[in-house]
Amino acid sequence: MPFKPAAGLFAIGGFYFCYFAFTGLFQPYWGVYLAALSFPAWQIGILTSLTQINRIYAPAIWGWLADRSGKRSLILRIAGIGGVSGFFCLLFVHGFIGIFAAVWLATFFWSAALPLVEGLTMAKLKGDSGRYARVRVWGSIGFVVSSVLAGYWMQAHGIATLPMVVVLVMSGLAICAWLLPEAPAAPASHVHAAGFRQIIARREIQVVFGCCFLMLLSHGPYYSFYSIFITAHGAAKSSIGWLWALGVMAEVCVFLIMPQLTARWSVRGLFLSCFAVAGARWLLIGFGVNSMALLMLAQLGHAWSFAICHATAMTYVHKHFAGPHQGKGQALYIGASFGLGGSIGGMLAGWAWEPLGGTWCFVLGAVVALLGWLIAAIGLPRVPRPA
């Protein structure tokens, strides 16, 4: 069927909403759910990192299949059904091995979805990070809605109901996956594009991927233990949802004004700013956990450490990976950052949490973020901006 702009963007926005509504449940409450089942910290670190571990290799498999077959819509439908099936198993298993197997299966399929949709969106919008941000904002809205409502739901009905809520949201994601169209055909000029190995050998793309790896590595304590850390210092479960939502609401605001930001500042400058803000954010959480005001201020930094970082990285990815390499490029970006960086960060946080304590784990996260700033500052070339 032909790619109709209005219908295509509507379906893509709906997908982002459901995809990140699931994330709005899983990120804030999955660690709390596992802690309620009395898992030790090292097992929590592994189980909270499984979604990221699968992002290391699974997107590459699905991206290769999509680029080779051209059947992105079919693969997305399979991913939706497989994701629901895996998470459905969580209703019946409570031990470490059973939960590990269920989440591994679900996230193997789930991880296929986002890189393919990101490539579809950027192809439709011709690499415009400003317009991309305004479509992607629906994911942020989905995250806010689910994390806030879930906070009150868990407060009233208990954290044990989390798997049931996850299955319901993932069912919505599977439905949305059926509505997504095929990507528009690549322009003829991309038929003889550079080889994939030539692209990944470019210094700029290596620096961007390396820095995104470090950014997600620095997020390890946050994604795995933030909710546990603040509840241990007296925060209510309903406050968890609002704090996570505050960060994503800041993300929404930045996504909406991204066209103005990219018109005023260079992509390189925006990318660099993300790492400085991330370092400050982790220090605020580590040393300000007893102050709700400081925790709220730190959450506003999510607008940089995620939204601007992701939007600018997408610009670099779209710039280098075109035509037949689109799916593989998106998969490599997701694998290097959210996959490898996120999983290693989560597992390292799990191993270090008890001997070092939460505060010093967040300090180490800040050091990693500032290392990313240094590498980007040295490695990314300055591009003259047009008058």
Eight-state DSSP code of residue 90: G
Q: What is the extent of the structural domain holding 74? A: 8-182+194-379
Predicted TM-score (pTM) of the model is 0.73
Q: For residue 306, what are its two tokens?
A: 């995620």
Q: What angle do CA 207, 212, 214 make, to 5 degrees?
A: 95
- If one compares 301 and 188, the residue with the highest pLDDT of the two is 301
Q: Is residue 341 part of a domain?
A: yes
Q: Is residue 22 part of a domain?
A: yes
- Amino acid 284: pLDDT: 96
- Amino acid 183: pLDDT: 60
Q: Is residue 384 part of a domain?
A: no
Q: What is the pLDDT of residues 230-287, one digit of tens each?
A: 988 887 767 887 888 898 889 888 888 888 888 888 989 999 999 999 999 999 999 9
Q: Is residue 187 part of a domain?
A: no
129 residue type, one letter:
S
CATH number for the domain harbouring residue 313 = 1.20.1250.20
Q: Is residue 244 part of a domain?
A: yes
Q: Is residue 105 part of a domain?
A: yes
Q: Is residue 387 part of a domain?
A: no
Q: Is residue 3 part of a domain?
A: no
232-243: burial string, b at 16+ Cβ within 10 Å, e else: eeebebbbbbbb
Q: Domains in the chain: how many in total?
A: 1
Give the pLDDT band of residue 8 (cuts 50, 70, 90).
low
Question: What average pLDDT does this structure show over 344-367?
Answer: 93
Q: What is the pLDDT of residues 188-214, one digit of tens each?
A: 444 445 677 888 888 999 999 999 999
Contact criterion met (CB below 8 Å) for 24 and 248: yes
Average pLDDT of the chain is 84
First to last CA, the chain: 41
Share of the chain above pLDDT 90, in %: 34
Could you give the CA distance from residue 34 to residue 292 in angstroms, rounded to a whole number? 25
Give the pLDDT band of residue 324 (cuts 50, 70, 90).
low
Is the pLDDT confidence value at 166 over 80? yes
